[in-house]
Structure 1
Amino acid sequence: MRLSFAALSIVRPAPCRVARPWVLVMAILLLAACSSAPRKPQPTFKDSRSNLANQPARGPSEANTGTANDVLFRAIALVGTPYRWGGNTPDSGFDCSGLVTYIYRNAANLLLPRTSHEMALMDGRTVGSMTDLVSGDLVFFGSRGNISHVGVYVGKGRFVHAPNSGGTVRLDDIDGPYWRDHFTYGKRLLN
C-alpha cells in the first residue's frame, strides 16, 4: 500500500494539538505552585533560639530562690491566657501590667503599681544589661525614655508578657528583633 504525502499529513497530528495538552499541564502545575503557601526554611537550633539561651540559668539570692520559682511557675502557667486591655485576672484576660501585678501578688505576695511606668519607678536594683538579668526580674521596654511595656524574665533569654490586643500571654526571646531594640532595663525585686 502506498501512502501519499497528503495521507501522511492526515495521520500525523498537528504540532498545535500535541503541544496543547502539555501547555495545559504546565499551566496547571504553575498555578498550583503559586497557590500553595511558601515554605519557611526550617531554622537551625542556633537560629531558632535566643543568643542568651546558652547562658546558665540564674536566679536571685538563695534566700529568694523559692519565691523566684513561684513567680516563674505562675508566669509560665498563664501562657495562652487572652490579652485584654485593663485585664488583671486569668478569667478576664491580661494586659502587660495586669499580668505582672497578678503574678507578683499571687506568687510573691508583693503589691505592685498598676502601670508599667509606675512599676519602672519602684525601688529595686536596676539591671541595665540583658546578660545580667536573673529569673524573676521585671523587664521594661519603651522608646525615647518612655516605658510602655513590662514582662517577667524567666531565664535563658526568655520572658513572659501580654503583648497586644487580639493576642495571648506568651513567652518570647528578649533579644528578638523588636524586643532587643526596645529593651530599656530590668528591675530586681526579689533580692
Structure 2
Amino acid sequence: MKLIAALLPLLLAACAGAPENVAYAAQKSAPDRAAASAAKMVGKPYKYGGASPSGFDCSGLIFFSYKQAGVSLPHSTAEQRRTTQRVKLAELKPGDLIFFDQRGRKNSHVGIYLGERRFVHAPSSGKSVRNDTLDNPYWKKHLSEVRRPSA
C-alpha cells in the first residue's frame, strides 16, 4: 500500500503530458515560427552581412529567422527572391517575405510579414531591426512583391 501511495503522484504527473504552451509551439507552422523569431530580434543592430543577434542585414534577418524555424534559405536578397514563390498581396500570411525597391534597385530590400499589416526588417547602417507597417507611405510606395518560402 505504501508503494502505491508513493508511486501514484509520479504516475499522475507522467500522464499530465507536456505543458500547454510547448504543445502549442509544436503546432505552429515554420513560417509562423520564423515570423516570431524575427519579431524577437527587434532592437538588434544593423550589420552589413550579419545573420546573428549581434547584427543583421535585411537578408540575414530572414536567413536567421527561417533557420530558427528549421528551414534553410539563402543569405542574399536576390537568392531569397529566386528560391521562393510569388503570392498576391491579398494572400499575405505571417512568414511571407516582402520585397521592396530602394534607391532605384529592384527587390533590393526584404522584410518578413508578421500579420496585421506589420513586418520586421533590418533597415540600414546605423539603425536597428524594427517592426514597421505596410501602411507607411514610404513602404507602400516601394513595395515590389510578396513571396513565400516552401516551408
**Taking structure 1 as the reference length, what is the TM-score of the superposition?**
0.60
Query: Which of 151, 170, 175 is the equivalent residue of 2:130?
Result: 170
Q: Find the counterpart in structure 1 of residue 119 from structure 2.
A: 159
Q: Which runs of 4+ in 1 moved over 3 A?
A: none
| Count of equivalent residues | 124
Cα deviation digits, residues 37-68 of structure 1 (max 9, x gap): xxxxxxxxxxxxxxxxxxxxxxxxxxx84323
Match of 1:137 among 83, 96, 100: 96
Following superposition of structure 1 onto structure 2, how do residues 20-169 of structure 1 map, counting pairs within 5 Å?
65-91=28-54, 93-107=55-69, 109-124=70-85, 126-129=86-89, 131-142=90-101, 146-169=106-129
Runs of 5+ unmatched residues, structure 1: 1-63
- Equivalent AA in structure 2 for residue 171 of structure 1: N
**Per-residue deviation at 1:145?**
6.8
Cα-Cα RMSD? 1.8
1:46-95 alpha-carbon deviations (Å, 9 max, x no partner): xxxxxxxxxxxxxxxxxx8432331122111100000011111102x000
| Structure richer in strand, relative to its length | 2
Indicate the percent of aligned positions where both proteins have the same amino acid: 40
**Structure having the higher Rg:** 1
- For structure 2, list consecutive stretches of 5 or more residues without a partner in the other structure: 1-26
Distance in 2, Cα, partners of 1:71 & 1:123: 15
CA contact (8 A) 1:68 1:190 kept: no
Determine the C-alpha separation between the residues in 2 that align with 1:172 and 1:111.
Answer: 25
TM (normalized to structure 2)?
0.75
